[in-house]
């Protein structure tokens, strides 16, 4: 049984940065979130057609961040040392930030965004420019038989039919195969009021409890998990085809979720109230600082939810700076704040920067010493609305 608990209003495609002439045809949908009380899977109530989001114009490059490059180099090293796989499948390979750490002959990539599939294909990696559907899974089964590792980072949460995907993964794993997935953590989202993790692409935000329940349904076994700091906070979950005892760290993380109340509807009701409070506080803060030169730092997908839910447009935030060329010179989705190129001296005209990319706070603080030393301050809404 599904219960609705959060309404974030009318929202555009979070990553569809656009030109002025595209405004009149901009796509909107109603963003609301519900929980399935049978398995505790938290999902959007209405999904957006996948082709609206994942197409040849997708703009998010994983390799853009030093943090993410290192993150994927580290896990690749670990997989090689501990498992030494013969054949790896990556679902959602983006620009190859993970897979390029492996030999081209042992890998297969799946990437629905044509512009990104082209990057790995041109680099010599076998790439299927398709969505992860049952049809693709049977094609992969016919061509390769199976895989010892299936890896998917920040992609399972994008896949609307999570059940057929688990079924497909189960069919592609060798008996001793391991599926490793990492995605934003529901526990962190709720604990830190990070409601901006909800947007069109994030069809689900997973708890370990929900993933354990879904895996069980397909005779898969969640046996290990670790907490990661990337993307705010994520879980890396290890799933095997054969039964394995739960590691101690997984048991601890599951207990943490239970203690927080992940399986109680009241927890979600409370979260929704905090989200509403956060909206009022952020609106008030930005209104108070109007005229004080506040800039947006990082044109993230997450920030699309914030700006549209809180009604923040160019009157409160005249522009956003971002390092991604594909976003620069465009307007932010829905509230149409200009996105401009990141320049070394951006801080000269700005006293405050609202952190759209709050998940990279450490990386940004390291990089922006001059802004901070000149009295510049960051603003965030996570875990509460505040000037840092
Ligand atoms: O799952 C998803 C993930 C992994 O990332 C996707 N649904 C889309 C995307 O979400 P996001 O856009 O919220 O991701 P990030 O990684 O928080 O985006 C960072 C943005 O901030 C990029 O546009 C780059 C920009 N940035 C910047 O301008 N200066 C980032 C850093 C660290 C910087 O110093």
Nearest CA to ligand 1 atom 14: 300
pLDDT of residue 313: 98
Query: Around Cβ 354, how many Cβ atoms within 10 Å?
Result: 26
- Percent with pLDDT over 70 in the chain: 100
pLDDT surpassing 90 at residue 355: yes
Mean pLDDT in residue range 115-119: 97
Nearest CA to ligand 1 atom 28: 322
Q: Ligand 1 within 6 A of 357 CB?
A: yes
Atom of ligand 1 nearest to the CA of 302: 13
What's the rounded Cα separation, in Å, for the pair 153 and 97?
Answer: 10
- Could you read off the pLDDT of 234-269 as tens digits, one per residue? 999 999 999 999 999 999 999 999 999 999 999 999
Taking the centre of ligand 1 as the mean of its atom positions, its distance from the CA of residue 167, in whole angstroms, is 30
Nearest CA to ligand 1 atom 15: 300
- Could you read off the pLDDT of 360-380 as tens digits, one per residue? 999 899 999 999 999 999 999
Q: Ligand 1 within 6 A of 213 CB?
A: no
Q: Ligand 1 within 6 A of 196 CB?
A: no
SS3 57: coil
What's the rounded Cα separation, in Å, for the pair 79 and 149?
Answer: 9
Q: Ligand 1 within 6 A of 154 CB?
A: yes
What's the rounded Cα separation, in Å, for the pair 178 and 239?
Answer: 6
What predicted TM-score, i.e. pTM, was given to this entire model? Answer: 0.96
Nearest CA to ligand 1 atom 21: 298
Q: Ligand 1 within 6 A of 64 CB?
A: yes
- DSSP bridge partners of 109: 90, 127
Backbone angles phi, psi at 21, to 5 degrees: -70, -15
pLDDT surpassing 90 at residue 64: no
Nearest CA to ligand 1 atom 2: 154
- Could you read off the pLDDT of 39-52 as tens digits, one per residue? 999 999 999 999 99
- Could you read off the pLDDT of 206-239 as tens digits, one per residue? 999 999 999 999 999 999 999 999 989 999 999 9
- Could you read off the pLDDT of 126-154 as tens digits, one per residue? 999 999 999 999 999 999 999 999 999 99
For residue 66, name the pLDDT band (cuts at 50, 70, 90): confident
Q: Ligand 1 within 6 A of 323 CB?
A: yes
């Amino acid at each position: 049984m599904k219960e609705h608990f959060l309404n974030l209003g009318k929202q555009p495609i979070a990553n569809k940065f656009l030109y002025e002439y595209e405004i009149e045809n901009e796509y909107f949908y109603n963003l609301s979130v519900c929980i399935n009380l049978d398995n505790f899977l938290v999902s959007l109530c209405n999904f957006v057609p996948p082709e609206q989001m994942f197409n040849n114009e997708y703009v998010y490059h994983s390799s853009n961040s030093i943090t993410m490059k290192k993150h994927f180099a580290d896990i690749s090293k670990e997989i090689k040392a501990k498992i030494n796989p013969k054949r790896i499948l990556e679902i959602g390979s983006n620009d190859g930030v993970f897979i390029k750490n492996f030999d081209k002959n042992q890998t297969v990539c799946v990437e629905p965004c044509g512009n990104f599939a082209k990057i790995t294909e041109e680099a010599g990696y076998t790439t299927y420019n398709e969505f992860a559907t049952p049809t693709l899974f049977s094609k992969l089964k016919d061509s390769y038989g199976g895989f010892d590792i299936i890896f998917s980072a920040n992609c399972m949460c994008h896949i609307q039919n999570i059940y057929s995907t688990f079924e497909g993964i189960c069919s592609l794993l060798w008996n001793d195969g391991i599926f490793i997935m990492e995605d934003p953590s529901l526990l962190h989202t709720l604990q830190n009021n990070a409601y901006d993790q909800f947007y069109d692409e994030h069809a689900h935000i997973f708890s370990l409890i929900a993933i354990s329940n879904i895996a069980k349904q397909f005779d898969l076994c969640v046996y290990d998990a670790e907490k990661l700091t990337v993307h705010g906070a994520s879980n890396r979950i290890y799933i095997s085809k054969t039964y394995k005892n739960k590691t101690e760290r997984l048991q601890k993380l599951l207990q943490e979720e239970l203690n927080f109340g992940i399986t109680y509807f009241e927890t979600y009701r409370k979260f929704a109230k905090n989200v509403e409070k956060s909206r009022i506080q952020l609106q008030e803060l930005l209104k108070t600082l109007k005229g004080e030169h506040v800039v947006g730092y990082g044109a993230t997908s997450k920030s699309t939810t914030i700006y549209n839910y809180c009604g923040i447009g160019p009157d409160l935030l005249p522009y956003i700076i971002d390092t991604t060329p594909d976003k620069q010179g465009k307007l932010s989705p829905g509230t149409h704040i200009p996105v401009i190129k990141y320049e070394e001296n951006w801080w000269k005209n700005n006293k405050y920067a609202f952190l759209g990319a709050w998940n990279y706070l450490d990386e940004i603080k390291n990089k922006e010493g001059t802004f901070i030393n000149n009295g510049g301050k960051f603003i965030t809404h996570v875990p509460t609305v505040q000037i840092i």
